[in-house]
Structure 1
């Protein structure tokens, strides 16, 4: 079946946000703090705050970083800026991402990013990718956070695309694979951490390098 659009989650899929977050927080954390543990704590705390309802994502970054550093006994003073909101522009893409996006674009695919962050923060990350998506849908546009279906519904409305001619690519089974599949999208799970499958994605890849070939395969299926 034809693939007109390829939609992407951004952070964890295109941008190495765990590295970006821990690069920003580790200099403030106690010596010996584990990068892996710090990332896991952040992800768990972020999910708690997002479950409270929609707020600008920069406020989530601020609240989570303050709570996390307070838990590590290195609190940030109220009158001092927390490190995460200002660090987003320094978060880098995974090494294979720019080439994979360029190959998809050269193959005639339209590209979209569906992200929970704010418009201004996403623009900072788009500047790192080497290619501009044809469409971007943020938490501000949807008024909600994934896994709520708002991002996909806004995408369909703005693009005029059909779900069955679109493939959604993401690194989170919870935020991306399950809700996208429920709306009729084919899905590609980017399993960067060797997770146990709790969903049934159309395809599973370890990084984005094989994605252009996978999309070609799905277009012929």
Structure 2
């Protein structure tokens, strides 16, 4: 693939640019200890993984903090423990505290010299605004779940993306999608006929972590272990 042929990059944010698993574990782990559960961060993320996607699919108009809180409550129930309102709210409010991957801000700055950058994210506007204080990204467009009333892998983000590309004067053939999650991004990218790059942040870890196993046909053109590696291949 000639990466220089593209005019714009659309990014998933959480898992790709922001370390959402560390952000989740920073709340799930102390809760588990308070409940006497001897579970590793990986075990907690695995326990959590399907519940968030289920809430997003069943209640697509809920804001992301509400999704996080409800997914936490369901995770607790599955582990035989209750999750108090205080703990649920703590996870729901935690998005702006989630750390960026160390290479994200620099990679975005380098990529912005060649491409228009677009965010395609499953969070709410305020949550992403907090995260972008860490990323310092110069984005031509930001599309969130709050904007489209749905969560990936549903198609609403991609319909909004098509409209935004027209506004930006970018042909669809000039767009490359960049993401970590096979479930949320690369399955729908293949469905939508979009070329994509897999940022495999879990390359050195077994399993799927906080992301459900992909349930559809997966397709991507290139794989990198980090945003830094991807930017190095382009700039």
Return the TM-score normalized by structure 2.
0.83
- Local SS of the residue matching 1:200: coil
Q: Is the 8 A contact 1:163 1:184 kept in 2?
A: no
2:156 corresponds to: 150
2:177 corresponds to: 168
Indicate whether 1:192 and 2:201 are aligned. Answer: yes
Gaps of 5+ in 1: 217-221
Q: Provide the alpha-carbon RMSD of the alignment.
A: 2.2
Please give the alpha-carbon distance, in whole angstroms, between the structure 2 residues aligned to 1:138 and 1:93: 18
Q: Is the 8 A contact 1:189 1:201 kept in 2?
A: yes
Q: Is the 8 A contact 1:65 1:83 kept in 2?
A: no
1:63 to 64, 70, 74: 70
Report matched runs for 1:129-144 at 5 Å. Answer: 129-144=135-150
2:211 corresponds to: none
Shift of 1:78: 4.2
- Local SS of the residue matching 1:117: coil
2:21 corresponds to: 18
1:181 corresponds to: 190
State the number of aligned residues. 215
Q: Is the 8 A contact 1:65 1:82 kept in 2?
A: no
Shift of 1:180: 1.5
Indicate whether 1:109 and 2:128 are aligned. Answer: no
Please give the alpha-carbon distance, in whole angstroms, between the structure 2 residues aligned to 1:148 and 1:193: 23
Please give the alpha-carbon distance, in whole angstroms, between the structure 1 residues aligned to 2:147 and 2:132: 17
1:89 to 96, 100, 119: 96
Please give the alpha-carbon distance, in whole angstroms, between the structure 1 residues aligned to 2:122 and 2:41: 23
Shift of 1:166: 0.7
2:11 corresponds to: 8
Shift of 1:9: 0.4
Instruction: String of CA shifts for 1:4-26, please: whole Å, max 9, x gaps.
Output: 11110011111100000011121
Please give the alpha-carbon distance, in whole angstroms, between the structure 2 residues aligned to 1:76 and 1:104: 41
1:159 corresponds to: 165
- Local SS of the residue matching 1:82: helix
Gaps of 5+ in 2: 209-213
1:219 corresponds to: none
Return the TM-score normalized by structure 1.
0.88
Please give the alpha-carbon distance, in whole angstroms, between the structure 1 residues aligned to 2:105 and 2:85: 38
Shift of 1:74: 4.6
Indicate whether 1:49 and 2:58 are aligned. Answer: no
- Local SS of the residue matching 2:112: helix
